[in-house]
Amino acid sequence: MEDYIIIDGVKYFTSPTKKSLLSMSSVSKLKKNEIRAFIPGQILKVFVKKGKKVKANKNLLTFEAMKMINEVSVESDIIIEEVFVKAGDAVEKNQLLIKYKLKPKK
């Protein structure tokens, strides 16, 4: 069964333990419109670039952490402001990955 959590509008597919859920309380206090690594890992693929418009629930990037592949997406239409990682990068917990802004609704 595939589980997910949503933090600041970002859907993370994972199977967190009780311990990791308690440690994520600091992640929820981060700035909105930023995507940060919720656990250390390695970036596998980045699907977006600066200026790109992305539809809700589209995969922005994937990274491997604790032998799991994590797909990162948001539940709103967005515009990418900056991408701070590339495939192959190692990331630390809370490291800034992507900045975005919400796409204005018509």
Cα 74 from Cα 56, distance rounded (Å): 6
Class of domain 4-102: mainly beta
- In this predicted model, what pLDDT tens digit does every residue of 23-81 receive, in sequence order? 554 444 445 799 999 899 999 999 999 999 999 999 999 999 888 898 998 888 999 99
Q: Residue 43, Cβ neighbours under 10 Å: how many?
A: 19
Task: Record the pTM.
Answer: 0.69
Q: 22: Cβ–Cβ under 8 A, 6 or more apart, which residues?
A: none
Q: Provide the residue ranges of all domains of the chain, joining segments of one domain with +.
A: 4-102
Give all strands (DSSP E) within 48-92, no chain letters: 53-54, 61-65, 68-74, 78-83, 90-91
